[in-house]
Structure 1
């Protein structure tokens, strides 16, 4: 027998393929059980539902790691992000948006970036200069940055910024005789469930 469970993150299911037997409870659709299904048998399944989650994508990140002989490693990341969800239709009013905090549920107001616990001299800026709307919390095993772009990101909107920090080299640089090994993360946690299209690392 065959049984298929489809679970979506909302109770608002507009429509779905109805192949009996099936059962729907809110955002969960159970198809089957089906018996005596022939090999390689297929049937198209479509589920149409509302998803207001923001789709934030890192389209490109250039990570520059500069190793100093004086006990410091400087990390600088040039990050390009894009809201790859449904594009905003019609005009946008920042005034209306700020008055109603429940408006634009699919927009991105801010996100949390996680840096190493030993990160210091952190900076966050773009082509216009320092972005002062960020907030930094130093915790026991990490540094948490609440990054807020200069404007909210709606579908199709982009943001470019530079994030940098220093860490002590003794935490990441190892050597045996004349051989040295740099052991660092390939990429920091930029935001939850991040998708990265292109990563360039320079040392």
Structure 2
């Protein structure tokens, strides 16, 4: 039922949001250049790697050494707007249709974090990752990593169709309020460096 709902809702959303998607794509091309889409390897169900799609929100500015400048220096006001309104997440609907993601589930994090999870935290990969999730509507990037993982695992253990609907409704509210977009002193959240103890 969850997979059928994901496909149906994602298709409906794409139809209704098509004008917004096209407008955002044009603005990104004008303000940030190409490519319009940003793709990155992320772990999905059972840790299987997939290409997650988002709208590009940063410049490709590089330093004298040829390496990309820090995120804070490459994120423009327009990029901040895309992130704060979650418009950069719209291409993720295609990941949902493909089956890489669900509308609701733990957010897919960086591949390099995989060996850092303890056994409990790794359970977040027992379900498909989501465009939004229980941790996103309970603090997003303003909460600690430990709290984020606890919320992710709680969702895995308590997931249901009605909980997903609740999370989707709360997500709409959070988008308008623009809460928890970033941790203090960071563009999004500080990098995860591993858990100090193994959770049983």
TM-score range, shorter chain: under 0.3
TM-score (norm 1): 0.23
TM-score (norm 2): 0.23
**Structure with higher strand content:** 1
Larger radius of gyration: 1
**Structure with higher helix content:** 2
Point out which structure has higher relative CO (alpha carbons under 8 A, 6+ apart): 1
